[in-house]
Homo-oligomer: A and B are copies of this chain.
C-alpha cells in the first residue's frame, strides 16, 4: 500500500462524504485520508448515547463502516462507486470518552471486492482506548455514479 493518494481520488472521496446527510447529522469529520487508509472522528454529546451514557454502538459502527468504505474507495478507479456488502463488528469495551476515532486500513485489495479492517478508539486527551474492531467487505461498482440518479 505504498502508492500515493491522487488528487482525483481525494476529491472523489471528499465529495462522496459531503453528499452523506448522515455525516452532517452526526458531525463526523475526516482526520486522515491516504491511499487505502481513512480515519474519521466524531465528538461526544448527549445525542450520541446508549442507555449507560456512552457512545451508542450505532455511532461506533457508522464511523467504522464509513472509514472502511472510504479507505476502499480511495483506491478505486475514477468512474466507480463503492458499496459495503457486509461487515462484522466486535465491541471490545465501553465507548466512553469525549471523542471517537475510526482507523480503516485495507487488508486485501481486489478488483471487485476489497477487505478492510476498521478499528475504533476513544480518544481522551492523549489516551487511545481500543473499543471496537470491524472486518468489512467493500464492493467496487464500475460505471455507476457515486451520487443520486438525476
Chain A positions near chain B (C-beta within 8 angstroms): 16-17, 19-22, 24-26, 45-53, 56-59, 61-63, 65-66, 81, 83-93, 107-108, 112-113, 115, 117, 130, 133, 135, 137, 139, 146-149
Contact A90:B81 (CB < 8 A) given known A20-B51, A48-B21: no
How many subunits of this chain does the assembly comprise?
4
A83 to B84, CA, bound (A): 19
Name A's interface SS.
Answer: mixed
A120 CB to nearest B CB, Å: 12
A60 CB to nearest B CB, Å: 10
The interface residues of chain B lying within 8 Å CB-to-CB of A50 are 19-20, 22
The interface residues of chain B lying within 8 Å CB-to-CB of A24 are 47
A114 CB to nearest B CB, Å: 10
Which of B26, B58, B137 is close to A85, meaning CB atoms less than 8 Å apart?
B137
Closest 3 CB pairs of A and B: A58-B62, A53-B148, A22-B56
Q: Are A56 and B20 in contact (CB under 8 A)?
A: yes
A108 to B63, CA, bound (A): 20
A85 to B139, CA, bound (A): 12
